[in-house]
Amino acid sequence: MKFLKLSLMAVVACTSVFASSMSDINPDEALKLLQEGNKRFIDGKPAHINTGLNRVKETSKGQHPFVTINSCSDSRVPVELLFDRGFGDIFVIRNAGNVSDTDEVGTVEYGTEHLGTRLVVILGHTSCGAVTAVAKGDNVEGNIPKLVDNIVPAVNKVKSKNTGHTHDKWLNEAITQNVWQSYEDLLNKSEIVKHLVKDGKVKVVGAMYNVENGEVKFLGEHPDLKALLGAK
């Protein structure tokens, strides 16, 4: 029993160290690194930062990413390439529709509280197939309905404002709204991330990647962030 108590104390102490160890790169600095990297990418002048074998060996001793990004699994959205970054720089979560459900939220919590990233980006993209499927009312099977049900609120919100118009008229707005929906779901499902944001330790921003020209447009923080942080 004494050994068990000591073990539990060690676990608690270890967790506390992880939780208090934040990146030296603050949210604004992290955002600037992403913006500069994306500019190099679209200018056709990538610096291929941290992509060599030396970096592989360095990060084998431990990872210290400067940002957590929840992105879509779409094969046209290779996150590290878009921001001209390499091994150990970006803690990436990828899923169809860049949604924030249990697994994704838990992974963001790991990226922020344990790895210490101070910036979280919800990265959507133009021509998103997952949002398009919901907007069109496509019949999906297997486990996909449980995945896309996170997208339904965003689509319904935009659809209700565009009665009488076909989905192609409001699809882009729905894709953007889905970024905000994922942002809301993250804060509503994670007290950990919510408190980190409240305390000014972490910033969450939305972003949109254009699959036609390679540009990432940062959308900033949620328009109703104060209300989201105040909600229980």
Cβ neighbours of residue 33 under 8 Å, at least 6 residues apart?
Answer: 25, 66, 67, 83, 85
Predicted structure pTM score? 0.89
8 Å CB contact between 119 and 125: no
What domains, with CATH codes, occur in the chain? 43-89+97-230 (3.40.1050.10)
| CA-angle at 12, arms to 9 and 16, nearest 5° | 140
> What is the residue-averaged pLDDT of the chain?
91
Banded pLDDT at 169 (limits 50, 70, 90):
confident
| Segment 130-158, tens digit of pLDDT | 999 999 988 889 999 998 999 999 999 99
Task: Give whole-number Cα distances, 164 to 11, 127, 156, 169, in Å.
Answer: 58, 22, 14, 10
8 Å CB contact between 208 and 226: no
Instruction: Work out the widest C-alpha separation in the chain, in whole angstroms.
Output: 70
Tokens of 181: 């929906």
Q: For position 162, what pLDDT does the model report?
A: 83
| Segment 18-75, tens digit of pLDDT | 444 899 999 999 999 999 999 999 999 999 999 999 999 999 999 999 999 999 999 9
Q: For position 231, what pLDDT does the model report?
A: 53
Alpha-carbon torsion 63, 64, 70, 76, what sign? negative
Percentage of residues in the chain with pLDDT exceeding 70? 90
